[in-house]
Structure 1
């Protein structure tokens, strides 16, 4: 895989890695892991929301009256 960043992104990433005492690669790996985890959690929340609406449809309809 090749990741092309702008010069500004590359420099910001380098500075962040230096501040954290980690390599650029370690910071990128952590960022990708965090992105995936966050989006997986968002999908789970949406799934649970849909299930709750289905389960409580009658109650929600009565509350809306």
Structure 2
């Protein structure tokens, strides 16, 4: 799917410099950035899910540790 990405001159310059430094196209840099952000979101959601299950189980212990 094609899309148009509007960048400021400064953002475009940063993207061009990053692409040149990594030997990639600007398009590839943007796709990789999207993939990295998506992966981070998935990890954050997984962590939130695990914490919502685990923290209640250890609430008493955590409360005691917090006051020590």
Alignment TM-score, normalising by the size of structure 1: 0.81
Give me the whole-angstrom Cα distance separating, in 1, the residues matched to 2:62 and 2:21. 50
Task: Give matches, 1:30-41, under 5 Å.
Answer: 30-41=32-43
Deviation digits for residues 10-65 of structure 1 (CA, Å, limit 9, x no counterpart):
1100010001111001111000000000111011111111110233345445x368
**Mind listing any 5+ residue stretches in structure 1 that lack a counterpart?**
none
1:10 aligned counterpart, secondary structure? helix
**1:55 equivalenced with 2:67 (yes/no):** no
Alignment TM-score, normalising by the size of structure 2: 0.78
Give me the whole-angstrom Cα distance separating, in 2, the residues matched to 1:40 and 1:16. 25
**Mind listing any 5+ residue stretches in structure 2 that lack a counterpart?**
none
Task: Give matches, 1:1-65, under 5 Å.
Answer: 1-60=3-62, 63=64
Q: Number of paired residues?
A: 64
